[in-house]
Amino acid sequence: MPQPIITGPTYAEMRDPSLLPASVRHAAHHADEMDPRNLWRINWHLADGQINHLCFPPALTGVACNIIVLLGRHFPSGSHKVGPAYVTLAEAEVLHGLRPGDKRVIGPSTGNFGIGTAYISHLKGYEAIVVMPDNMSRERYERIQRYGGALDLTPGTESDVILTLERTHSEYVSNPDYIVLAQFELLPNYRFHRHVTGGSALSVAAPYGNGQVAAFVSAPGSAGTLAAGDEIKAKFGDATVVALEPWECSTLYDGGQGQHRIEGIGDKMVTLIHNLLNTDFVMLIRDDETVRGVKLIEEGAAALAARGIADEATIAPLQGNFGMSGICNVIGAIKTAKLLGLGPDDNIVTVATDGFDRYPSVMDELVAREGAPDDERYAAWAESIFLGADLSGVLDTRSGAEKERLQSMKEALWTRFGYSEAYLDGMMTPDFWEAEYAKIPQIDEAIRALREPLS
Ligand SMILES: Cc1ncc(COP(=O)(O)O)c(C=O)c1O
């Protein structure tokens, strides 16, 4: 039996939550996790109105420019992936008449989008099924189940996500009992990150250096987050956008298809919603370095202080804020600073999608593999992983030939799932992306029209 819609914010309100009444914001930040009022805090801002971020300490980066990291762990459900889940479901409600109880919600994912799907579905009164690989960190399955989501597991790990895509299409896409939040192919994911993450990236950088954004760095899973780069380029035309991949699964770089340990990225595909026109460089990052980097941040502060690399007070604010993909992004930002020769006036923005809470089991596995690190090993990691990040594994993708190579990979995959050549070709023109982005005011109007006035 269809139920009334539980409404939430518009794109504009997620980009700038000060558009919401203070009472709505306050209630959202103080509600129990399972309370639908949490929908109103799907944005990058903390309760005090500040954008949640940190500057990665120069003692660890070794570069002069500011590396500003947007922190995703304080989004409801613990990662910013909840944003694309929310907007995809909200667009289905306001544009296509979906109502709670009509259909079950499907979230194809490697974890965080699935967690977000289960969480949003719970708040908005839908049943959810998350389609994901069966070998991800245990913390992910626990969260999905805590939010009442069911699991449909496909074999493998992060880099077997293509199997989840196949399962999603074969079982759910054309079955009218389901609504699929297809993060790899639906444009709400693009809209959310271009408008909300991109807008927040521009605002967060304004007080630093020259106030501009010289580069945006992000390791794509769905490539939603990378869309923030489009918004940054719309304001600063010379900005550079860098996509990162695991060295062990270098799909965009050279078609590599290996297994890797950086959960959430490196999904062995060119996703449909990836605007290839705006990706300037692809860089490779070693997966073990990201796992060790997380361990170093969480437990190596005393060792870094003892060796005179960084004092404990410098490392403390980083703790809890990084998983492997966040560390991957920081290493990529350091490489980007070196590649572009950036100085103290320049800003690079990147993201930490989630926090450490999802990865204690990954740290246990690291210790089981390599033994517990001592001070000497921690210091060596700081030198090699962060300070020693070099320019190996860097590919310039600005040429027409590179765009065509990546576009043919996109076409080879997505025509299999029923997308036409004409639609795919359209994605090679900026107009396609601008037209998708330009839908936001109309969607926002439809969201406002369906909800009670806010007070
Ligand atoms: C931990 C983590 N990092 C990075 C990403 C990649 O973000 P996007 O899908 O926006 O490219 C994801 C996506 O699920 C993730 O879970």
Q: Which atom belonging to ligand 1 lies closest to the Cα atom of 324?
A: 1
Classified as helix, coil or strand, 309 is: coil
pLDDT(137) > 90: no
267: pLDDT strictly greater than 70: yes
d(CA 239, CA 229): 8
Domains along the sequence of the chain with CATH: 53-76+197-396 (3.40.50.1100), 81-183 (3.40.50.1100)
Q: Are 74 and 52 a contacting pair, CB within 8 Å?
A: yes
347-352 sheet: strands from edge to edge: 53-55, 66-71, 347-352, 215-218, 240-246, 281-285, 394-396
Looking at residue 1, its pLDDT comes to 60
**Beta carbon of 112 within 6 Å of any ligand 1 atom:** yes
Q: What phi-psi label fits residue 345: left (phi over 0), alpha (psi between -120 and 50 degrees) or beta?
A: alpha
Classify strands 66-71 and 104-108 as parallel, antiparallel or unpaired.
Answer: unpaired
How confident is the model at residue 345, as a pLDDT?
98
What pLDDT score was predicted for residue 320?
98
Ligand 1 near 10 CB (within 6 A): no
Question: For residue range 186-195, what is the model confidence (pLDDT) as tens digits?
Answer: 999 999 999 9
Contacts of 278 (CB under 8 A, 6+ apart): 226, 229, 230, 233, 241
Q: Which band of pLDDT confidence, cut at 50, 70 and 90, is reported for residue 440?
A: very high
pLDDT at 136 (0 to 100): 81
190/437 Cα distance (integer angstroms): 8
- The CA 209 to ligand 1 mean position distance, Å, reads 28
The answer, yes or no, to whether residue 2 has pLDDT greater than 70, is no
Which helix (H) or strand (E) segment is 22 a member of? helix 22-30
**Listed residue (109, 142, 150) closest to 126, CA to CA:** 150
Centre of ligand 1 to C-alpha 98, Å, is 26
- Of 448, 306, 424, 454, the closest CA to residue 12 belongs to 448
When pLDDT is cut at 50, 70 and 90, the band that residue 161 belongs to is confident
Residue 395 β-bridge partners: 282
3-state class of 51 per DSSP? strand
Q: For 271-329, what is each residue's pLDDT tens digit?
A: 999 999 999 999 999 999 999 999 999 999 999 999 999 999 999 999 999 999 999 99
Bigger pLDDT: 63 or 2?
Answer: 63
332, containing H or E segment = helix 324-340
pLDDT in tens, 391-436: 999 999 999 999 999 999 999 999 999 999 999 999 999 999 999 9
For residue 72, report the distance from its CA to the centre of ligand 1, in Å.
Answer: 10
Q: What is the mean pLDDT of the chain?
A: 96
Tell me the two tokens of residue 23.
């009472």
Nearest to 323 by CA among 298, 348, 349, 350: 298
Burial 135-160 (b: 16+ CB within 10 A, else e): ebbebbbebbeebebebbbbebbbbb
Which has the minimum average pLDDT: 108-112, 169-173, 198-202? 108-112
Separation CA 331–CA 246 (nearest Å): 12
Mean pLDDT of 363-379: 97
Contact of 116 with 77, CB cutoff 8 Å: yes
CA 177 to ligand 1 centroid distance, Å = 27
* Cβ–ligand 1 contact at 120 (below 6 Å): no
Nearest CA to ligand 1 atom 15: 264
Residue type, 428: M
Distance 81 CA to ligand 1 centre (A): 7
pLDDT reported for residue 141: 92
Per-residue pLDDT of 384-395, as tens digits, reads: 999 999 999 999
What per-residue confidence (pLDDT) applies to 147?
96
Return the residue whose CA atom lies nearest to atom 6 of ligand 1.
221
Quick one: pLDDT at residue 159?
66
Predicted confidence at residue 110, as pLDDT, reads: 81
Lowest mean pLDDT among 108-112, 208-212, 344-348: 108-112
Question: What is the band of 162 on the pLDDT scale with cuts at 50, 70, 90?
Answer: confident
Residues 36-61 have a mean pLDDT of 98
* All residues at 6 or more sequence positions from 373 whose CB lies less than 8 Å from its CB, including other chains: 292, 295, 296, 299, 300, 303, 381
Letter string b/e over residues 167-178, b meaning 16 or more CB atoms within 10 A of that residue's CB = bbbeebbeeeee
Closest protein CA for atom 14 of ligand 1: 264
pLDDT given for residue 111 in this prediction: 84
Please give the residue that has the higher pLDDT: either 169 or 1.
169
**Cβ within 8 Å of residue 308, ≥6 positions away:** none
The C-alpha angle 146, 147, 153, rounded to 5 degrees, equals 80
β-strands 281-285, 240-246 pairing: parallel
What's the token pair of residue 455? 């007070």
Q: Residue 426: what pLDDT?
A: 98
157 pLDDT more than 80: no
pTM metric for this prediction: 0.97
| DSSP calls for 386-449 | IIT--S-SEEE--SHHHHHHHHHHHHHHHTTTT--HHHHHHTTSHHHHHHHHTTHHHHHHHHHH
Q: Is the CB of 346 under 6 A from ligand 1?
A: no
